[in-house]
Amino acid sequence: MGLEVGIVGLPNVGKSTLFQALTKAHAEIANYPFCTIEPNIGIVPVKDDRMTRLVQLVEPDKVVPSTLRVVDIAGLVKGASKGEGLGNQFLSHIRQIDAIIHLVRCFEDENVSHVSGALSPLDDLEVIKTELILADLDQVERKLERTIKQAKGDKTAAESIPVLQKLLDTLAKGELAQAIQLNEQEKLLIRDLNLITMKPYLYVGNVSETMLTEDEGHFLKLKELAEKEGIQVVKICAKIEAELAEMDAEEATLFMQDLGIEESGLDQLARAGYHLLDQITYFTAGKQEVRAWNIMRGTQAPKAAGKIHSDFEKGFIRAVVYHYDDINQLGSEAAVKDAGRLRMEGKDYVVQDGDVIHFRFNV
């Protein structure tokens, strides 16, 4: 299964419209809460100019970009952690994802009701974060009670108690679990909790069409908060994205030029999600196929080979590697080879972003 990011937000912030654009799938769009109950899942290609260039040079029969799975999680409301709305169902969906996209409404529209009456992106975020913290707090409390009972004859359980206590204190103060500095051993002890507020997150401000080229009003406040927290923020207009999704590439380019924007919000969002999860891309390139593979930064060659097939990892012999920059500059793999830029790398090689790799293996 690929990487999954989940879009969370209050009802009527534009999630279903954005999701429709993300996947060209039509989630049921209606102006009332809870029209998205089952989490819709969409696969979004991550746009990469290097891939476009590789395809020009190699002219393969097939092209496979790297992708991000996006889960549309129905609108949370105040009290979700106590089961308000469809709270518990949503919260269990959020636990399964790798990172969270907080979609925040920054547009005024009298035809689209706001769940609390007045529009305030920072208050909306506070509601969502509070619910996520309360859901984690409830989970940590129950886990701590069970662990204290188990601890008499169980060394691992005994070691978990101070970590759980630290988490409990932090969450009770209204802080995210990720505010605590935990070492690798401590992280392992609480991994099974799958805490929501431990997950990386970013903000997406859904703005009106007129605010796309300027930062003002509600979006500006969101941007200031993101800077303070050291979090990425992406500005999109979900309505425009839904229109772009219906156009072909040429039409979309002209439409964006008219709007004064260089790339779609979705391309920015997919890239931001990729970056959030500390992913890099390596490529396999041949006449049959050019494909982008996403791996965690710092991955060694055998594990990277395992992304293609487990046999590649098990029987790994070596990796034949050159960098995208080499083929971009020299024009073909043969020219890269002639220039002596093709390298043989072994099991300890750490794959770099933009590597083009052929794996040699034996099963």
Q: Does 43 have pLDDT greater than 60?
A: yes
Residue 1 has pLDDT above 70, yes or no: no
* Overall average pLDDT of the 21-37 stretch: 47
The percent of residues above 70 in pLDDT, for the chain, comes to 87
Q: Who has greater pLDDT, 80 or 321?
A: 321
Give pLDDT, residue 28. Answer: 42
What pLDDT shows up at residue 279?
92
- Could you tell me if 91 and 81 are in contact, meaning their C-beta atoms sit under 8 angstroms apart? yes
Which tokens hold the place of 97?
Answer: 């994802």
- The residue written with tokens 């593979």 in the block is 293
The yes-or-no verdict on residue 361 having pLDDT over 90 is yes
Size of the chain, expressed as the number of residues it contains: 363
Cβ neighbours of 323 (radius 10 Å): 18
Question: In this predicted structure, which of 114-118, 128-132, 241-245, 323-327 has the lowest mean pLDDT?
Answer: 114-118
- Residue recorded with tokens 């034949």: 320
Residue with the two structure tokens 């949370």: 76
In sequence order, what DSSP letters do the residues of 267-323 get, joined into one string?
HHHHHHHHHHTTEEEEEEE-SSEEEEEEEETT-BHHHHHHTT-HHHHHTEEEEEEEE
End-to-end CA distance of the chain: 24
**DSSP reduced 3-state for 272:** helix
- 208-221: average pLDDT: 85
Q: Please report which confidence band the pLDDT of residue 35 belongs to, taking 50, 70 and 90 as the band edges.
A: very low
Which pLDDT value is given to residue 111? 62
This prediction's pTM: 0.82
Distance CA 202, CA 91 (A): 18
pLDDT of residue 37: 39
- Among 31-45, 52-66, 81-95, 130-144, the range scoring the smallest mean pLDDT is 31-45
Average pLDDT value for residue range 166-174: 95
Question: 335 pLDDT exceeds 90?
Answer: yes
Of the two residues 264 and 168, the one the predictor is more confident about is: 168
Q: Which DSSP symbol is given to 201?
A: E
